[in-house]
Each structure stands twice: as structure tokens, then as C-alpha cells.
Structure 1
């Protein structure tokens, strides 16, 4: 058999991986998705083709000989993001440890290096496989060269041979260069001939064999315009062909023998894979004994045997995961549970009465530690069959979230990819999605068993690694004292739910519908015609053609009618305020009133899902439905809160922190002026207005206080003078004066802001008071907008994140203190700085006392935490 050469377009593969995969970062916040995707494709190709020689070719950032021929070559390409640029260095570092040669050459592209080595290999009688995501390489295919083309992200690859090219194009590989000359290539900014696309270019070369022959027989071409375009673009066509041709004689200084496959430097490789959390790839270098041992670890048994209980009681620790079918666990029935001890295989049980009888005491034992992935989900599911999961327990998902808080999602597959030497499939991959989605109940036992066993092994194998990382990052206390305890609080909130009266929603909807109809009639009369008010196109025609209002902004599809445009037109025509009001009420009806009705369970309660792992700052989020986003800015919006009521014989107690983020800022910056204002209960916005506008405190106007309030909160979010000018509708120059005066008024805040940005640039992350980390790679970006975003994140996260931590600790303290008091009171909702209880009327005063004290004692700041508290039969009354 002929020996094989594998030539890899490194630039193509890492680019494809970077944009195909979600953000993947290591524990230090370094983005690694491009490298991870490259290595996934690399190892897959190596296993399939078993090459004897490997070379990875890269583009250089310098201009090539093609730019000398055509200055605008690739001029349409955006610069690669900084988060991708530094991954090239990481990849080359790993290739060094793999003992794989890589090459880039001034004036040439990766294509040319690959083309040159493909020719060298052919001349030596060797077979070559090219790994790339770029179809340009098809021209290199011959009897000794195949292309392995990436398709659909990084998961699929297709082998391209002379036969497949002939079948698809009806041409030889070399003739594809002529096709490119005629049609050009938009991705590389190669012009080609006007009006000739791929189909026509292929037909011309099929008919005439080459561009040269086509131009020799131009008189035969039908179609006056096509003929003219070909004549006028002859020079461009041949230039396009020239710059689209891959060079096969680039000045490479290494020989075939230099790219022979060698043994990797295992110690170095392990260190780098560990650093970047690529442990999955290490299994490729394990010996067979290690692999056999690992496969034995994934053993499972569908069982009615409860002997594992003895092992659990001895070790005081076990791993588990509950399985359900349905879109949301809150409204689903639990099906199976997988359980594993430190020394056993995985046992899978039906969740029947027999299971409850045998395992209830184990899950409710306050000495036995339980470990799962997303344990809040398990707590809610097991509650349905009468099992109350008690602390202590661990959740590896929450650990992963704390270590890497900026991920778009967290699942067992991502966890295993980052921390383990094997990869576990996630639920979506196992069941599929859309119309073809399967149910767990329909899976055959072998597939279900392997899935559950691998999941439990991943939970077990990652736990100590994650705890070690949390300890290293000084976040273990935050995990143990805050996030884990909070999962119990949130699970009970999801179990209890919030009473929502459908008849109240219907009443409000009817009132809103009447007002919407009245507004419609007024708008049609003012417009002089009836039209779809919700259609941007139709509304744009009415405003800017029929009514001839000044055009503020145009889009690709026509006139913009967004909120900012309407705001600028408000005083131009009386129709505008009515359209704004119509939009507000229409959204209220469709987004809230109608959708909330659908979320009410049979017992009259709405149960929202509270998520701990969505925001990078640590704030909780609420979904399905989002109860943290109920409208409060308008009278109609606030009316929705009338539907959220206390159960019969109970009352709602509602408490929220007063200006908590500004209090956190006063603490972090140690600014004495701001601390004094809070300590002596001076209104902070009036105080700020007095200082910024140089006005006696008793003469501050409502407008001045309002503008000072905008500056106070704007500073927290790193607002610019432009942003403030837009918020307050004032000139940018005046907005800059406000910010400058503010920073001069509070000099220690100014100093703090500079220090926190500088520290973020140096460390790559910022921290809250409780050591919650958020990585800010954007802060060192060369792109101004990206860097500015990073600076805003660095300023805001310690403040907003600390406030989020405080409210979490307040919820935990409230929950624990209410339990100890044994009164009839439960937390049913948290809205950022606000906690709502449902309380038996006889326990109202005691509940208020516990809630207020728990919130005040949640953190020890240099300024007091002030709590506003009230009560009522509905959210509308209690706020």
C-alpha cells in the first residue's frame, strides 16, 4: 500500500470551528472553541486515514503575490476577532507537543503550501488527503489526491474525489479553475465576469473545455448582453483565473521527511490539554488497559435490587440523576432514576412506590451527601413522588457555572468536554429535536442505560476536579454557602407557585382591548386610511409617504419605525403618540395577558422556572413565564399585578432593597461623601444633584433630582456622555459636564473606576464582594467598541454581581429563618432586589420582621442596607 500524506488547511479549520461552536473557555476565561473544534476534526481525520506524514498549513497576515496582481483581493474580509486571533498561538503550541509540523510562508497562502506539498507527494508516488473547509482545493484533486471537506459545522466531512467532481460538475478538477475565472468568488472579492454565476460558468466550460477555448469561439455565444460582458471582462476573467489558481511551486524549505508522523510529547501534551480543559483528547493516548478499565466503569443494571443502600450508608455519599419526558420538569412526571455509589456500577430504577419506600430515608438523610447535575430539577421531580431531598448535596452544573459564568448553556456534554477524558452525549443529541424528537420512555434499554451510566460517571469524575478549581479560584465558599443552598430555596418556589386569577387577567384584557380599538379608530382617521399598524412596511408608507413626515432612518427593507424614530417624531404629528400607546397596549395584551393565561396550572397557580446559571453577573432569571419582567412603568402594565394574589386566608408580604447597587458602589469605592449620605439617610439623588449642580440641597428641583438619578445609575453601568445625552435628551457636551462634575464630586468613585478597569486589564477578570468571578477578555481587544464593552462590564459586574449575591444570601437567610420560626410563610417570588412571601394572615407581622432582618443582615457593608416592606392581597397592593 502507498504511504499517505495528510495536508491540513489550519486557517480554514480553526475559522470554521470558531464560528460553528459556542463559546468554550477554560477555567481562566481563555476562549478555546476554535482550537477544540480543530482538534476534534484533526483526530477524526487521523483515525480514518492513518497518515504517515502530516503538515498543517496556515495563512500569514502579510499580503500575498495575489495582492500585487489585484489590490482588492480579499478586501471585503472583516478582521478576525481578537478572541480567534490568539487561538492560533494556542493551536501551534499544541501542535508542537503533538510533534506535528506546521508552516506559513510570506507572500503565500495555506492553499499554496498545501498545493506544493500535494505535488511533491504525487511526484514521490504517495497518496495525499487534504483536510479543509474550502472548495477551492477541489482543483488539486487527481488520482493521487483527495479532499476531505468539512460540512455542517465540524461534525460532518465529505470525501471529494475525481469521480465526485465529475458527477457534481461534469468537469475535471482542473477545469474548476476556469469556472472560478468566469464566475469569480465573492468570499475572496475575486470579480469574475458580470452576470455570470456558477451554473452558466459551468455550462460554458462543459461546452468549450476552457476559458481560452470559450474566448476563441466568442462569436458562437448567444445573448447580446452575455457576449458583451464576456468581451468587456476578458482581462478581469483571466486575472480572476490567475489569482484563483493554487500555486504548486511555493518556496517551501522543508522536505517530506520533515513532516513524517512522530510520537507526541505526552508530558507536554497532558499539561496543555489540562490547561485548556481538553481532557477528552487524552484518552486517545491512553493504553488499552486504561481504556478497558474506563469502559467497565460505565456498566449499568436496570434493577429492583436495593443492596446499593448499604454501600451508600457506609460511604455517606452517592451520585444520581432523575429522568423525565416533557418540555419542562416542573410540569412533567419523573420516569426513572439512576443511582451510583463510590464503588458500584449504575443502578436504574423505576420511580414506583417500592423505590420510594426504600430510598426516601436516603434522600432525606441530613448526613448523606447527594451529587447530581442540575439538582434543583431532581428536587422538584422527586417531590412529586413524596421524597424531600435534603442538604447536604452537590451540583456539578452549578460548579461549572461559577468557574465559567459566560457560557451560553450548560449540559453534561460540555462539562465532560472541558474536564474529562471522555465525552458524554447530552439530552438533545440523544433524543433529537423538532418533529423527530424521541422520548426517554421510547429508547431501548441499552441506549438509555449507557446514557444514564455515562452521565453518572461524568458527575462522579468531575466533582473533585471542580471542587479543586473552585477552591483555587476562592469561590468554594460562594458555592457552598450561596449557590447550593439557594437551589433548595428556588426548588420550593417552583413547587409552590404563585396564585394568578384568570378572571382578573380577562377583565384587564377586555379593558385593554377596548382601548386598543379606540386607538385604532383614531389612528385610521388621522392617517386617512386603514392599514396594519403592526406592519413596519405599511406604517412606514403612511408616515413618510402619505403624511410626509421627515424620514429619520432607512433600512434595507424600507423606512424604520422603531421606538427611537417615533420618539423623534413625537411633536411632528398627533398620530405618533397614539401609535406609541397602541404598540404599548398591543404588547401588553399579546406578551403578558394572553400568554400568562396559558401558564396557569389547574390549581390556579403559575409556576415559573428560576435559573441560577444564565447571567454572567450572578443575577437570577425567570422563564416559562418570566415573572421578573412584569411591566411596572405604566398604569395599564401595573394592573397585571392585580391578578397575582395571595391564596385564601393569606397575604403577600413584599420587601425590596433601597438603592442597593449605589450602596454597593459606596462600599466598594469607599467614597466617604456617598457613604455619609447613606449612613445619615440623606436622599442620594437629591444629594448628588446638590453637588453636581452646585445647588443648596433644599433648593434641588425635581428635574435636577431626576437627572442626578440618571447619572447615579448611569455611572454603575459605565455610561458614556453620548449614552447619557440620549437618556436625558440633552446635548452631549452638557452630559459630559454632568459626568465630569459627578466624578469630581465623588473622587473616590472616580479612582475606584480607574483601578477596577486597570485591574481587569491585568487579571482578565473582575470579582464581586463574595469573590464571584467574571472573565472580561474583551477589555484587551484592539477593537474600540469591543474594548469599550469590556470596560463597561468591568465597571458594572462587581456592583451588579455583588447586589445579586446579596439578594441570594437574603433569600437563604429568609428561608432558613422562616423554617426555624415554623410560621405559615413561604418565599414565592424574587424580582431582582425584591422578595415576595405568601403568609398566613395571623403571621403577617412576624413574617415582616423576619424578612426585613434577614435582608438587612445578608451582607456586612460599610453602609446600612435599607429595606422597604409592605403587604397586601395582591402584588398590586403590596408594592
Structure 2
């Protein structure tokens, strides 16, 4: 195997990183920009170079042997900023976690250590790579040694080989020190020869090759002034060359065998990244090849259970339920794995579900179980008549709370984050697409046992992380209880009137045909309306409408383009309506018909609890949260959703302007708080403030503008976004936002403070301590930084609103049980809860539901809930 030595100039790279990145802090207030940049460089270079040996060299102190010959050496340098000084111990800690050797030598510079080690390595046949921010080290370049110099960014490296140096300067690497002798180096306070710059130095060296030859042949130099300078400063030039010359025989005690790279310490590095707040880097760490074999995992011992007995189970168990299909309502359980202090067990599906002992254990709330995805596990077992109880920890939910920005695909993706690599991802193990397969039992058992072992080993780490982040209450009191409620809701499902849905589909087809005919008439010919190319020709060539945007394939006919042309021609309105109805037909009518359960006539949507970064629930298979209700035809689709019991009613309750109320609470703005306390229409109040008019003078258009900016503030809207929403100029929108912030100074202060806080901490939090990490908030890229700033403003608002309705769901489930009601919670759609209830309980619900929802949390302003009911979901609005 070829040997490759990586030598890093620690001080130089740290300086480059510090000044290349804006000041960053972790949540403890420690500056981290230098170590962050250093880490980015290190990760990149390890991946690209794959060295067998590594050494990071540091300067040992301010004075070196060079100061004896020139006391002013490096004398002009500014004092190291304290924000950088405090990071050097952390950089050394980082290197220790990476198990990378570091070295410093009294009276010598890092350059001399690197020069000595590179020469030693060359003699022993190593390939050498040097990384620095200091071009002095380019003198070390050779056929075996490449010197990488960091440029603008810390990971942008220019590689200096003898060929590159020849192309750039017309010199050989060894002539770099001659060039420094002539031109000096301001950064190191090396004087050189006054008035001799880089161009002159290079020209002289091309002719005379070395400084010594030049000084011996001054009479041959053209130009009297230059001759005079070289004569006068001859000794200074020789001294400058000596100062610039890197020593290659320094008394370095470390040997090449001492700096063999064995791979990093995964657990230690993970913890360090967490302490530093480098959450965006955690999921980039891959176990070093030195720590593992290519695709082989160490054997683990387990037992294939032939007969389920009580002796298998313990008081504390890691229990994994494998269901492969995304829509687990229609999928079979593949198998079970169990890990406790007694052993590691695989139980086949047939042996488990046929065993009364297994059922009794699964349903025993006293028998503690750590799982992955409690909701999925519960729902899957319910299809086999087993109600899983005793779940005390859910690794999926805990990992999601710890960092919602990370994509969680399976147990392996969570395991990797915490340093567990003895497991393949499901995609690797089962394959994908046509190659997807379920292996034979022993191989399957091994995979599932590894998952259970991860659950067993990772729980303590996750719980400690949640505790450090003050998130145990969010986890145990909100998300965990909610998962059980969501399991009930998913299993219950929502009944759909299949025939009514089909009838709606037929009605929509008729409407679509009518729109199609109208469009053809207005166009004067038939064409494929769904073809952007053909539509573009009709609109912008035949009808002569202004082409707002062009693409590589022709005219853009996207919705935003057409909406701007809506008032220019009747055909545009017809096309927009045609598209909306077409989406209703294909996505919601035909889509819903495909997922209605053949036996129950219900749809069993999946509520994604660990997907969004704000904490909001989302809905898939089918998505019942996005049924378009702005169109009358879209609202009518809700007519197909009916109670599952004859004669029952649908009861719907939703929070009124919950996000604006949360904003008033968080911002503490007196005018907003007063308006909500007095029960004023908040959009009218905002119009009064912004337009400086009395209540009776507020027009519908003023209120519309005020409503747009109210909700725009909540969602971090920009002047551009508001201009698009209100069809006004960007300048007008900017003035409008500024007037709003002047009217509500508490909101302005909140927005400024939350962005500043996020830049310091790297994250924002909701009222219940849900975090969202924002690594881009200090980005030098304006667009990335602006998006992160808007996200910092709106996440605490949206996330807190999401937490409140989750709390209301938990409180509501408890209240229904206490009251002994038959009413069932069916759906959560944004700020709305949908129930089905017998008619005799409606009167009680009108009291109970608002009471529970409005008291889910105590804010500085009252929460308000509106409700309605009827025979269908449509009628309950």
C-alpha cells in the first residue's frame, strides 16, 4: 500500500478560517468560526487525499531562532484576536477526537516542523501533501510533495507543484526563497530590498537563477537605481533569504511511524460537534475506512425463537417491529426483534401473532418497551388484533426533536448520527426498485437484531441530549402522548362516501369539457391545453400577449406568469380555472378513490409526526390537509367525508388567528395585545395603525392589505413576496412593511432580537423549547442568509402554534375519556380539529371543545376557537 503523509500548518489554517468566516458562537457563547472552518477543511482534505499518516504542526511561541539574527522578525503583526485565541484549545481537542497527531517545537515554527517531516517522508518514498495559508511553504514543492494553499474560502485550495510554480512565476520551487530575499515579506516583516517587488525579483531570478549569483554579478544588472539598491542592501537581502528559508533538519522528535492515521474516534467527535453546535456537520461524518471493512459487519449473536415463552421478556426491552411499506395500514409485519439483558431474539411474524404469551406481553403496560416509530409499530400490530402498550421511549421521535433538520430515513440513519455503524441502511439491505427483496430468515434476523441493538444502546445518549436542550418535557409530555393519539386517529380512519365522490368526478369532467370548449373558442383553434409549448404559441404569438418569462424550451406558462396576465385576456382566467379543476379531478377525486379501504370505506391517512422543521403535522396517503378550499369545487370535496356511524355528525373546531396571537405574546407588543384582549378584528386594527385612519374609515381594500401583511409577517414575507401577493410594486410593499413595523414596535424589536439571538446560538426555539437549527444564518451568501433570517423570525411563531394544537389534542383525548363521551377525534388540519360525534353529545362538545382548546396554554392574549357541525365535513364549516 502506498504511503501518503498529510502535513497541516495549524496556526495558518486556523487564522485563515477565523478571518474567512463571520463570528459564530455555540449556545455556551464560545466563538467557533475558526474551528468550524478548520473542521470543514479537514473533512474535505481527508475525503479527497485519504492519507495514511497525518501531522498538524503548531508554532510553539512568539520567539524562534530567527529572532536571534533579526529581532524584528514578524514584528509588525497585530495581536491575535481573543476570539481566535480561545479557539486554539478547541482545535487541539478536535484533532484529538480525530486521532490526528499534533506537534510543536520550542524555538521553531510550524513551517520548520513541516519542512523537516516532508523531507524525511520523501526520503522514505512517501507522497506528501502540505496544507497552509502561507505561500512560504511553496518552496517545499517537489515531485513527491504538493503544497496546497488556502485561497478565499477555507476549503478552496490552490495546489502548488513544480509545474504550477513554473507556470505561475517562471521559477523553480527552490527559487521561492531567493524571491523572498529580494522582495521581502510584509506579513513576516522580512525586509528584502526596498523598491524590489515580485515582478522585478522574478525577472532578476530568471536571469541570474539565485540571489547569490545575482549579488555576485550586480554589474550585469541593468538600471543604475536597481544596482544601487542591490549594492546598498546586499546584506539585508541575504538575511531576508535566510529568514524565509524553511529549516529541513530541525530537531523534531516525532517519527513517521508515530503519526500513522488510524481513523477518528466517532463517539468523541460526535459529542464534540454537539457541544460546539456543529449540527449541520454531524450527518456529514462517515465512519473512516480505517475503522471498518468495506461492506462487512462483525457477527452478532442472536437466537431464532422457535416458541414464544415468558422467559424471553424482561422488565426493560428494546423491541423492533419491521414493516417495510410506507403505507403501513396495508402492509404486513415482516418480523420482530427483541433485545434485553437476557439475550437477543428474533421472532417471526407467524410465531408472534399466534402466541397468547406474546400478545399478553405486548399489551402489558407494565412491561417497558423502547421502540422505533411507536405509531407505526402500534398501527401495524393492531391489524393483528394486538394493542401495543408499555412504550417508554421512541428513538425516532427523540432523534427528530434533537434535530428536526436532519432527514431520518431508517434506524441506520439515526444510528450513524450517534456513532453506531454496525448496521446497514434498509436501502442497502433490502435493495430498491426491481431488486428489492426480503432475505431468508437468518439474514433478516441479523438485520432486525442490529436495529434493536441500536435502540438499546442509543436511548441513554438521546435522553441526555434532550435533557441538555431542555426538551424532556416536549418529548415526554407532548410528542410521545401525541403519537398514541395519532395511532388511534389513523386506525380509526375517516369514512368516505364513495358514490358521492364518483358523482363529483363526473360533474368535474363536464365542467372541464365546458372550459376546454371555451378555451378553444377564445383561441380560435384546438390544441393541447396541458402542453406548455403549444399553449405558449397560442398566448404569446397568436394572441399577442406579453411574454413575461422565457425558458430554454420556449415561453413560460407557469401559474405566476398567467396570474400576472389575468386581466389581459379572458382566455387566461379560463385556463387557470381549467388547471385548478384538472388538479381537483386527478389528485383529489381519482386519488381519493384509489386509497379508500375496500372493506371499511375509509381512508387511513398517515400523520407525519417527524417531518417538518416547525413541528407541524403533515398528512400523506392521502393528504387531507391540502384539499383546496378556495375554490367552491374544492370545498365541495369535503361533502364526501362523512361520519362512520349512522346518524352521527361531523364537529369541526379551529383556532382563530392563532399565529398572530402567538406573535403578540412572544413580541409582547402592547398594541397587538390590547387589540386581542378587546376582541378587535386584528386586520382592521392593523389597517387603522398603518393607514392612520379611524375604524369606520377602514375600507375593504385597506383591510385586505393589512391582512396580507399580518400573515406575511408571521411567515417571514419579504417586500417582494408581499408585492406579489397584493399586486403592488416592491417599493410600495417595502413601505407598507416599514409602516407596519413602526406601528408595532414590539414586533420590530422581536424580529431584530430573534435574528441576533439565532446568529449567536445557531438556532431558534418555540415556547415549548422545540429547536430549529439555522446554520445558514451567518452565510456570506445573501439569499441563504436572508432565508435563514426570515425562518428565524417565523419558526418560533409557527412552531409554537403547532405545539399548542398538539397540546390541545392530548388534553382533548383526556377530556373525552373523563367525560365518558363516544366522540372521536378524526383529523387535525392545520389549526383545526375534526371530530365525529353522536347528536346527543353535540351540546356538550360546544362547551368542552372550546374550553379545552382555549386553555391548552396560557398566553398574554386569549386564544379563541370557532366551531360548527353538520352531517359532512363540508357542512361543518
The TM tier, using the shorter chain, reads 0.7 to 0.9
* 1:629 match: secondary structure: coil
Give the Å deviation of 1:566: 1.1
Q: Deviations over 1:217-246 (max 9, x none)?
A: xxxxxxxxxxxxxxxxxxxxxxxxxxxxxx
Give the Å deviation of 1:272: 3.3
Match of 1:686 in 2: 684
Written as runs of structure 1 = structure 2, the 5 A alignment for 1:560-639 is: 560-602=556-598, 603-639=600-636
- In structure 2, the CA distance between the partners of 1:458 and 1:518, relative to structure 1 (3 Å rule), is same
- TM value normalised by structure 1: 0.72
Give the Å deviation of 1:735: 2.2
Q: Is the 8 A contact 2:497 2:642 kept in 1?
A: yes
Written as runs of structure 1 = structure 2, the 5 A alignment for 1:854-873 is: 854-873=852-871
Alignment partner of 2:505 out of 505, 509, 515: 509
Unaligned runs of 5+ in 2: 10-25, 58-86, 104-114, 131-142, 146-244, 275-281
Give the Å deviation of 1:283: 10
* Cα distance in 2 between the residues matched to 1:354 and 1:598: 29
Match of 1:374 in 2: 373
Instruction: Establish whether residue 640 from structure 1 lines up as the match of residue 656 from structure 2.
Output: no
Alignment partner of 1:701 out of 699, 702, 707: 699
* Cα distance in 2 between the residues matched to 1:652 and 1:382: 28
Match of 2:666 in 1: 668
* Cα distance in 2 between the residues matched to 1:319 and 1:37: 39
Q: Is the 8 A contact 1:658 1:867 kept in 2?
A: yes
* Cα distance in 2 between the residues matched to 1:354 and 1:550: 67
- In structure 2, the CA distance between the partners of 1:524 and 1:267, relative to structure 1 (3 Å rule), is closer
- TM value normalised by structure 2: 0.72
Match of 1:522 in 2: 518
* Cα distance in 2 between the residues matched to 1:427 and 1:9: 38
* 2:728 match: secondary structure: coil
Written as runs of structure 1 = structure 2, the 5 A alignment for 1:133-172 is: none
- In structure 2, the CA distance between the partners of 1:267 and 1:322, relative to structure 1 (3 Å rule), is closer
* 2:840 match: secondary structure: helix
* Cα distance in 2 between the residues matched to 1:647 and 1:118: 78
Alignment partner of 2:735 out of 728, 734, 737: 737
The count of residues paired between Structure 1 and Structure 2 equals: 701
Instruction: Establish whether residue 542 from structure 1 lines up as the match of residue 541 from structure 2.
Output: no
* Cα distance in 1 between the residues matched to 2:497 and 2:144: 74
Match of 1:299 in 2: 301
**Bigger Rg over Cα:** 2
* Cα distance in 2 between the residues matched to 1:529 and 1:761: 58
- In structure 2, the CA distance between the partners of 1:269 and 1:354, relative to structure 1 (3 Å rule), is closer
Match of 2:269 in 1: 272
Q: Is the 8 A contact 1:118 1:128 kept in 2?
A: no
Give the Å deviation of 1:635: 0.6
Match of 1:490 in 2: 486
* Cα distance in 1 between the residues matched to 2:639 and 2:474: 37
Match of 2:844 in 1: 846
* Cα distance in 1 between the residues matched to 2:576 and 2:298: 63
Give the Å deviation of 1:282: 8.5
Give the Å deviation of 1:682: 1.2
* Cα distance in 1 between the residues matched to 2:582 and 2:827: 26
Give the Å deviation of 1:372: 0.5
- In structure 2, the CA distance between the partners of 1:33 and 1:644, relative to structure 1 (3 Å rule), is farther
Give the Å deviation of 1:357: 0.8
Give the Å deviation of 1:421: 4.0
Q: Deviations over 1:313-336 (max 9, x none)?
A: xx3x21111123544211112232
* 2:874 match: secondary structure: helix
Unaligned runs of 5+ in 1: 11-25, 58-86, 104-115, 132-142, 146-250, 288-293
- In structure 2, the CA distance between the partners of 1:701 and 1:258, relative to structure 1 (3 Å rule), is farther
Match of 2:160 in 1: none
- In structure 2, the CA distance between the partners of 1:644 and 1:696, relative to structure 1 (3 Å rule), is same
- In structure 2, the CA distance between the partners of 1:27 and 1:307, relative to structure 1 (3 Å rule), is farther
* 2:847 match: secondary structure: helix
Q: Deviations over 1:148-180 (max 9, x none)?
A: xxxxxxxxxxxxxxxxxxxxxxxxxxxxxxxxx
* Cα distance in 1 between the residues matched to 2:525 and 2:27: 60
Instruction: Establish whether residue 755 from structure 1 lines up as the match of residue 757 from structure 2.
Output: no
- In structure 2, the CA distance between the partners of 1:774 and 1:546, relative to structure 1 (3 Å rule), is same
Could you say what the CA RMSD is over the residues aligned between the two structures, in angstroms?
Answer: 4.3
Match of 1:20 in 2: none
- In structure 2, the CA distance between the partners of 1:330 and 1:37, relative to structure 1 (3 Å rule), is farther
Q: Is the 8 A contact 2:650 2:836 kept in 1?
A: yes
* 1:446 match: secondary structure: helix
Give the Å deviation of 1:801: 0.2
* Cα distance in 2 between the residues matched to 1:624 and 1:254: 68
- In structure 2, the CA distance between the partners of 1:310 and 1:258, relative to structure 1 (3 Å rule), is closer
* 1:393 match: secondary structure: strand
Q: Deviations over 1:539-590 (max 9, x none)?
A: 1111111122211111122111111211222222221111111111111111
- In structure 2, the CA distance between the partners of 1:300 and 1:42, relative to structure 1 (3 Å rule), is farther
Give the Å deviation of 1:494: 1.0
